[in-house]
Structure 1
Amino acid sequence: MRFRRGISIAVVAAGGVVTTMLVGLVTNAVSESEWPGWLGWLQRHAWFSFVLLGGLLVVMTVLAALSDSRTTVRQPESAPQNEAEPPGAALVLRALPRDTAAFTDRGAELAALVGSVRAAQESGEALPVHVIDGMPGVGKTAFAVHAGHVLAQRFPDGQLFVNLNGHTTGRSPVQAGEALASLLSATGVPAGRIPAGDDVGAVTEARAAMWRSGLAGKKALLILDNAASYRQLEPLLPGAGDCLVLVTSRKRLAAQEEVVLPVEALPADHAVDLFVRLSGRPAASLDRDVVAELVGLCGYLPLGVSLLAARLRHHPSWGAEDLRERLLAARDRLGELRAGERAVAATFELSYQDMEEEHRRFFRGLGFYPGTDLDAYVGAALGGVTMAEARRRLDALYDAHMIDEHPGSRYRLHDLLRDFARGLADEGGSSMEQTQAVQRVCLYYLAALAAANRHLVRRGAVAPTRPDEAASVETPRMESRAAALGWLENERANVLACIRRASGLALHELVIRMAAAMAPFLRQAGPWDQAVGLHRTAADAARHTGDRKARAGALAELGVVRRFMAAYPEAVEALNEAVEEYEAAGDRRGKADALNQAGIVWLMTADNEASARAQTEALALYREVGDRLGQANALADLGMVRRQTGRFDAAVEAQSEALSIYRELHDRYGEANSLRDLGVVHRLTGEYEQAERRHREAYDIYVELDDRTHQAYALNELGVVRRLTGDVVGAREAHDQALERFTELGERFGRANSIRNLGALERVSGSATEAVRVLEEALSAFRDLGSRGGEAAALSELGAARWMLGEWDEAIEAFRRSLDLHRELGDRCGEAEVLNHWGPLVRASGEAEIARGYFEEALALARDIRSPLEEARALEGVGRCDLITTGMTLAEGYLRNAAALYRRLGADAAAQELEELLAPRAG
């Protein structure tokens, strides 16, 4: 790039030289007088002077280019990401891990940390980052966890533990953006609120800002374990100074305002005391000099001391001298290692050789595990044994200090022991053995995901396991949606790590199936850019296998997630490609699903013609294959398109058929959606009582399903009905509740609708200034989303509010743009509404005849689509124009018809105003 830029600069410079010389020569030639002083010499030596000037220009240009290349701000480097690379995730614990029994006296270090924290809190100063560094195996994590337990009461707003995998064999360090997503999710942030996108740097910054905002004013404890670099952890640091951050790392991290707490190997006497305590032997029975030699042989590292003591405890017949002989023999076998590695590796070797062969084989198998932590179910799959046997072997490894215990009956390997297990596996196993171990774990996760998805998927459980596979796999019991979601959140990082390893081993079929099985959870829980990465990986895997149906499924899921992210062009692109792939694979149901999803995107972007075409084709395909749920979905979505284009009778017909099928299938979610949309149609046709009943029925079902997003949509619709029937207080309450929920859930489209509805409420309440402010916010939100329908509706309301303020030019511009958009979208009800808003402004400007034309056009539209509210408004508008131009004689009929319609609709205030206007005539 710099080379090309240099060529461009050179061309420009050469052009400048030529231009300068030509201009100079012309100037010299036409000059009739001699230039004064030294300029005269330049005039007499024109060629020399102009060549010199051109040369100076070249030099200055080159210098500017060099300066530019040296001073260009360099963007932070990030690991290049292959679009098809599986996503990662951080393991986050919402509470501290168990305090280890092997923790020994770190009195000086602990006193320094507690004193630092106490001093900062008592003085009101910001708590600095405390970095705990030291060599592997020295006990950094154990110290951080122990200190966390000691300090927990000072941080009542929560304790979080994050493993950043900075030095974990077989795992890439967790990227800051991934860690932030996991932290936000662990602290209860809904998927829709977690920033997502393709710009990794921008997304990381946005997530960091949200993380800091969420911790503002709170006192929380955050342990960032196993950090690789300061750049990795910097975005994770809270902005507020009331939170304590403990960082462990093998490296000295260059953090600003940090407090470094180096953790060294244990003092000799402390190491001896720890050994004695963990060995279970009376101190008097042990030769302290021999014990001192033992702990020295393992480098005084707590990890090594713990392992040695465990060996002695499990061999009552051994003495300390027996243990020393075995340790010396192990060190000799590991003589090629560096001294520091040899010290602790010898203890590993001794403990490993001391185990039964079945436990050694099981431990080697742990070296193949891609995840960070595991339970007995994963252990059974990994070792190819029963659950009972896996529990027994895990307990044996724990008793031997070869694995650590985590909350929830889970276990993990210390990084050094993971290295050791991986080395043993590589030494004694084969690539086929590793592949088979990963396959067994993936098949377990497929079976467990199928069990979880029974609580998440409407069409029935995703069944990624085959009968012969499922028969040999034991999975945890998940008897509720909450249990399924809890299991999925706990296993997210491990499942994604397994998919990543499977992708690296070219196990493409497993990658495809696991991505499909994770899709329902990631749709709901996010973060959605994690889901995007996963489905791209699956699509790439399907391309490798030539499985066009699988590729279509991955692309369809990608399109759905892109829709959730409000990335509508990308969603349509993925779904269109999915349709093509399904077509090529001859999968009509899959094609119908993709068309149905594409139709939803087009509806949201108000491309009603494309949406209707897609849903009609999807409906025909569903009917061909006999898919009743698919038929109901397509009918429901087609009903929304018809409602959007003012075909209210057709909309009711489609939604009623969809509702009947949903009830036949006992699909409560679909039933609620159809009820809600029928309520919208009833409201547009002036059947307000029936509209409110439908919305209440839908809301009750959403409460039953614990679907907060759609509860908010139902509340929004209830608010509109209440506003139209004069219940301003009830309307505000409903819209406020909806706005609060949409904001909490990160549902941008629903939030924009709530804001627009509140703006309309301010307008009808007479607060025009506030209405303009709120509607401007809604307009901006709809434009950001690319929602032309939302933009059109907001502009219509904004024009009416600006007219109330006397801002006529701005009002006319808003009406004009709104009318154009509604006509482009085919929204005839919206078109009539704009004309009815615009007419009064024209009439008030003294052009009653022109205004009457607006109202007549609105009247024709309203009668054509059967919208009684817009018909009443148009009749009133025509009548008032006639009252100005010809008097009451012609106006009376229009006004009386408008009043009658208002009464029928329950708009009593509007009816009474017209009746009072007509009263003198009646008298």
Structure 2
Amino acid sequence: MRLRRGIAIAGVAGGVAVTTMLVGLVTNAVSDQSRWPGWLGWLQEHAWFSFVLLGVVMAVGSALLAMLSDTQAPTPSADPPPRPGNEAEPPGAALVLRSLPRDTAAFTDRTAELASLMRSVQVWQESGEALPVHVVDGMPGVGKTTFAVHAGHVLSERFPDGQLFVNLNGHTPGQSPVQATEALASLLAATGVPTQQIPMGDDVGAVTQARAAMWRSRLADKKALLILDNAASYRQLEPLLPGGGGCLVLVTSRKRLAANEEVVLPVEALLPDHAIDLFVRLSGRPTDSLDRSVVGALVRMCGYLPLGVSLLAAKLRHHPSWSAEDLRERLVAARDRLGELRAGERAVTATFDLSYRDLPQERQRFFRILGHYPGTDLDAYAGAALGSVSVAEARRHLDALYDDHLIDEQPGGRYQLHDLLRDYAHGLATGERVSMDDVQSITRICTYYLAALSDANRHIVRTEAVAPSVPDDALREETPPMESRAAALGWLEHERPNILACIRRANSLDLHGLVIRLAAAMAPYLRQAGPWDQAVGLHRTAADAARRTGDRQALAGALAELGVVRRFMADYSEAAETLNEAVAEYEAVGDRQGKAAALNQAGIVWYLTADTEAATRAQTEALALYRAVGDRFGQANALADLGMVRRQTSQFDASVEAQTEALSIYRELNDRYGEANSLRDLGVVHCLMGEYELAARRHREALDMYRELDDRVHQAYALNELGLVRRLTGDLDRARQDHTQALEHYTELGDRFGRANSVRHLGVLERLSGNQAEAGRLLEEALSTYRDLGSRGGEAAALSELGVVRGLVRDHDGAVEAFQHSLEILHGLGDRCGEAEVRNHWGMLLRAYDDPSAGRGHFEQALHLARAIRCPLEEARALEGIGRCDWAIAGHAEAEPSLREASTVYRRLGVTDKADEIEQLLASQAR
């Protein structure tokens, strides 16, 4: 291929040279200029021959260029190129997933089993039918997981959309089987679903069904491979099965699982020759130096199980002075000691015992302590805490145990015990001082996690916020370096299941103080990362622990965190109830700062449910308490939230005053997050006051800060508010872009309230664009969500806009009903600006239905409300409505004053299209 291409290029280059020369010859021949030398002169004299030769050279050159083009053109693919993204999936979704453990070098011949699996997959794929579940079963230690992982790597090309691995802990000593709802949360997160978007709730059955539905949707039309390792039952794994027929599910289990569609792949002990070959390969000894009959006896005594064979081979490799016969004698002695075990376990456990007894005493102790660890995997720092040794020494122990095949190495410098080895280590540990050792080990690892969480929270907790305290002994623990927010979040994401497992174990040992402290230390991370239902369970456990010990201070803290998470989950009634209980507990122990924080959170709940009287009372009391204790950060929070309540009740000047003071404190504390929040809410107030240019500037400043902080939730809120300003000033295209981007963020993050706001704004844009059917659909969707969440303010806003749409499609009764219901809610909220807007909408409806007198009454009420609260946009709309009604009733002269005043206000606001429209109307009458 390269030779042909080179020849073609050379030919083209030569042709170009010849063509250039011939052109010169022909030109000279025609113009009778200077003579060319030698044979070229003959060509110059025979000009017609030069013309012919020129044509031939150009034809050949064209052919060569075509050949070159063909050789360089890529071969067309039978399949279209992959698209960079999938519009059906939410932003941030991982397109290709790889989470299989590393393929082991110790994998030995499983040709028959692998061939059987490959045939089965091929047959089902070629048939076009759905792939059935393939169950790999067999006794402990036989190599089921190793086989499944190896098969996953071999089959990866057939399943290009991802390969996922989940350990279900069905038979893991000291651990409960993973619940389907937890496994689904992990799988959804692995496929790019943000934790906040994962369905949550108290009804485990309903949550499991919702997550399973989302999981099936994620894998629809995909070709992915899913390994469900160590399953306890078919019931445990059934919700995890993808709905699409293109996915292969490999399940490993010690039990025969009952499922109609499954394909069973039994994995038996190794054949004797294969076991011997594996032993020889792993022992590192020359083949001719080992007595094959003795090796045969060794592998027979460990039941031909790969795990036992690997351990024995490693034992021989690490003892160069031993012979195979020496190893055999030691194994015989070990089997005698363990004779009370069942036959199937005795063989492999004897190999564990032999390896364990050959360890140095300090490493034996370290291995036993690992049996107390409740997590799934650990690193050298956690190992150091468990073993009460330095990190360097823990790393040496872990590396040595890995070399001895007593522990498995995982990516990222982490280690994990095989189920049987965990069981063995746990048995060694519980055979001695069970309660004391267990309590001490759990205390040490929990103390370590408290220290590490303290480091992580330095990067997560907001400036000047009170971080959870840690005991003095925790500060002496060696912890992994966390120099950035990203590093802290990465460590927390990996350690979360281990920390939660330690909390559960500590709770079972009645170590209530540790439970309370760990729950408080995990709270900042779980607030923002979730899953929130997991956080609810944690804080309830902490509250129960506090009640058992009579620690009312700790109870107050646990209840406060529980209330905050319940607010995030939009369970406002329980959030308010729990926060009220927290307020009472803080008051009982005399903690004014804690009481202020709980009141502040309760006030936010009441603001969200539009109980403005209760919200004002809570934030005012919280502000007074914060000032009394000198908590500047708390003062800023209470002022900002009080500003929002005052804005909701149309007290715009008071709202600006509160937000401006909050902004000043946030800047004093260098709290960028708080500063952005205050800027955004100031933008909202300025928009309501008709100061659109200032409002847009505040929203852009806030949006830039949120982007700097990588806070997509609040980016979405700022985008929605900026879109609203642009819509009011006539820039509908950019408004649509802002609301659409906000909607994408909310959908990705699972923020239902924010998503409803974006949907409502887009519905208004559809109405202004003349698409009333789509506008009605979007507004009905928003209304339904607001009602589900108990957001009365959102419900009123959606009803107001829905009334306009119904009027435009001639549904007079439906429009009136929507306006009436909206006014009832807004009057109860004290939202006079909202009332003025609805009155203006209602007035326009009546004027359109040829009832200008009734319409004028609504416009007059709107004008009164708007002027009372200084809401100029609704004032202008009311003036315009009055003028147009007067025009219909009494003519141009009666209407002109109101219309000219409306035009002036519109012009001052920058709403030039409306001002121009009115002035054209007046000018037409003047002509």
- State if a TM-score over 0.5 links the two structures: yes
Amino acid at match of 1:524: Q
Instruction: Describe the SS at the equivalent of 2:460.
Output: coil
Shift of 1:764: 1.9
Counterpart of 1:442? 446
Give the residue type in structure 1 aligned to 2:653. D
1:287 aligns with 2:301: no
Equivalent pair of 1:451/1:461 in contact (CA under 8 Å): no
Matched, 1:117 2:121: yes
Counterpart selection for 1:97 from 97, 101, 104: 101
Partner deviation per Cα, 1:873-912 (whole Å, 9 max, x = no partner): 1111222222233333332211110111111111122112
How do residues 159-558 of structure 1 correspond to structure 2 at under 5 angstroms?
A: 159-459=163-463, 464=468, 466=470, 468-558=472-562
1:833 Cα deviation (Å)? 0.2
Q: 2:646: which partner in 1?
A: 642
The superposition leaves residues 220-276 of structure 1 with CA deviations (integer Å, 9 ceiling, x where unpaired) of: 221111100000001111111222211110001112321111000111111111111
Question: Aligned to 2:365, what secondary structure does the other structure show?
Answer: helix
Of residues 581, 584, 587, the one that matches 2:588 is 584
Match of 1:896 among 900, 910, 913: 900
> Are 1:820 and 2:820 counterparts?
no
1:487-522 deviation per Cα after TM superposition (whole angstroms, max 9, x unaligned): 111111111100000000000010011111111111
- CA displacement at 1:471 relative to structure 2: 4.0
Higher relative CO (CA 8 A, sep ≥ 6), structure 1 or 2? 1
RMSD: 1.4
What's 1:614 paired with? 618
| Aligned residue in 2 for 1:711 | 715
Q: Which range is displaced more, 196-205 or 775-784?
A: 775-784
2:463 and 2:671 in contact (8 A); partners too: no
Classify the secondary structure of the residue corresponding to 1:224. strand
Partner residue of 1:906? 910
* Match of residue 634 from structure 2: 630
Q: Is the 8 A contact 2:461 2:467 kept in 1?
A: no
In structure 1, C-alpha distance between the alignment counterparts of 2:739 and 2:767, rounded to whole Å: 14
Q: CA deviation at 1:432?
A: 1.1
* 1:833 corresponds to 2:837: yes
2:260 match: secondary structure = coil
Q: Is the 8 A contact 1:94 1:186 kept in 2?
A: no
Instruction: State the shift of 1:219 in Å.
Output: 2.2
- Match of 2:141, as an amino acid? G
| Aligned residue number for residue 814 of structure 2 | 810
| Residues in 1 aligned to 2:924 and 2:568: alpha-carbon distance in whole angstroms | 58
Contact kept in structure 2, 1:444 and 1:475, CA below 8 Å: yes
Which residue matches 1:62?
none
| Paired position in structure 1 for 2:21 | none
Q: Residue 364 of structure 2 aligns to which amino acid in structure 1?
A: R
SS of alignment partner, residue 306 of structure 1: helix
| Cα pair distance change 1:464/1:383, threshold 3 Å | farther
Deviations 1:731-755 (A, max 9, x none): 1111111111111111100100001
User: Is 332-341 or 638-647 further displaced after alignment?
Assistant: 332-341
Shift of the alpha carbon at 1:531? Answer: 0.6
Q: How far does the alpha carbon of each residue in 1:777-823 deviate from its partner, in whole angstroms, 9 at most, with x for none?
A: 11111111111100100000010111111111111111111111110
Q: Which stretch of the first structure deviates more once superposed, 389-398 or 157-166? A: 157-166
Q: Which runs of 5+ in 2 are unaligned?
A: 1-96
TM-score, length basis structure 1: 0.89
CA distance in 2, matches of 1:525, 1:219: 29
For structure 1, the 5+ residue unaligned runs are 1-92
Does the CA-based 8 Å contact 1:191-1:524 persist in structure 2? no
Q: Is the 8 A contact 1:679 1:694 kept in 2?
A: yes
* Matched-pair contact (CA < 8 Å) for 2:463–2:669: no
One-letter identity of the residue aligned with 1:663: R
Q: Which amino acid aligns with 1:638?
A: L
Contact kept, 8 Å, 1:462 with 1:517, in 2: the verdict is no
8 Å Cα contact 1:278/1:306 also seen in 2: yes
Residue 797 in 1 paired to residue 784 in 2?
no
> Which digits, 9 at most, give the CA deviation of each residue in 1:366-408, with x for residues without a partner?
1110111111111100000001000100111111111111111
Q: What SS does structure 2 have at the residue aligned with 1:98?
A: coil
- The 8 Å contact of residues 129 and 258 in structure 1, kept in 2 or not, is answered as yes
SS of the equivalent of 2:459 reads coil
Percent of aligned pairs with the same amino acid: 76
183-192 vs 618-627, greater mean Cα deviation: 183-192
> How much has 1:459 moved relative to structure 2?
4.0
Provide the C-alpha distance between the structure 1 equivalents of 2:444 and 2:735, rounded to a whole number of angstroms. 56
Contact 2:719 2:739 in 1 (8 A): yes
Q: Indicate the SS of the match to 1:228.
A: coil
CA distance in 1, matches of 2:135, 2:750: 35
Q: Give yes or no for contact 1:552–1:582 (8 Å, CA) kept in 2.
A: yes
d(CA) in 2 for partners of 1:219 and 1:267? 34
Please say if residues 161 and 224 of structure 1, whose CA atoms lie closer than 8 Å, have aligned partners that are also in contact.
Answer: yes
Deviates more, 1:895-904 or 1:96-105: 96-105
1:124-173, CA deviations, whole angstroms, 9 ceiling, x for partnerless residues?
33222111000011111111111112222322222221111100111011
- In structure 2, the partner of 1:604 is 608
Q: Which amino acid aligns with 1:914?
A: I
| TM-score with structure 2 setting the length | 0.88
Paired amino acid for 1:168: T
- The residue aligned with 2:66 is none
- Letter paired with 1:730: R
After alignment, is 95-104 or 716-725 more displaced? Answer: 95-104
After TM superposition, the structure 1 stretch with the greater mean CA deviation from structure 2, 154-163 or 539-548, is: 154-163
Deviation at 1:921, TM superposition (A): 5.6
Do 1:381 and 1:441's aligned partners in 2 also have CA atoms closer than 8 Å?
A: yes
Range that drifts further, 679-688 or 879-888: 879-888
Query: How far off is 1:856 after superposition?
Result: 1.1
Shift of 1:289: 1.0
Aligned partner of 1:23 in structure 2 is none
Partner of 2:706: 702
- Spell out the pairing of 1:45-124 with structure 2 (5 A cutoff): 95-124=99-128
Deviation at 1:337, TM superposition (A): 1.3
Q: Give 1:364 deviation, angstroms.
A: 0.5
AA partner of residue 913 (structure 2): A
The 8 Å contact of residues 130 and 260 in structure 1, kept in 2 or not, is answered as yes
Query: In the TM superposition, what is the alpha-carbon distance from 1:464 to its structure 2 partner?
Result: 4.7
**Which stretch has the larger CA shift, 386-395 or 247-256?**
247-256
* Residue 280 of structure 1, CA deviation: 1.1
For 1:149, give the aligned amino acid. Answer: H
Deviates more, 1:792-801 or 1:846-855: 846-855
> For residues 900 and 649 of structure 2, what CA distance do their matches in structure 1 show?
29
Contact 1:130 1:261 in 2 (8 A): yes
Judge conservation of contact 1:743–1:751 (CA < 8 Å) in 2.
Answer: yes
CA contact (8 A) 2:650 2:832 kept: yes
Match of 2:330, SS state, is helix
State the Cα distance separating 1:840 from its structure 2 match: 1.9
Q: Which residue identity is paired with 2:428?
A: L
Partner of 1:657: 661
Amino acid at match of 1:506: D
Q: CA deviation at 1:302?
A: 0.8
User: Helix, strand or coil for the counterpart of 1:454?
Assistant: helix
Match of 1:158 among 159, 162, 166: 162
Question: Which residue of structure 2 lines up, in the alignment, with residue 746 of structure 1?
Answer: 750
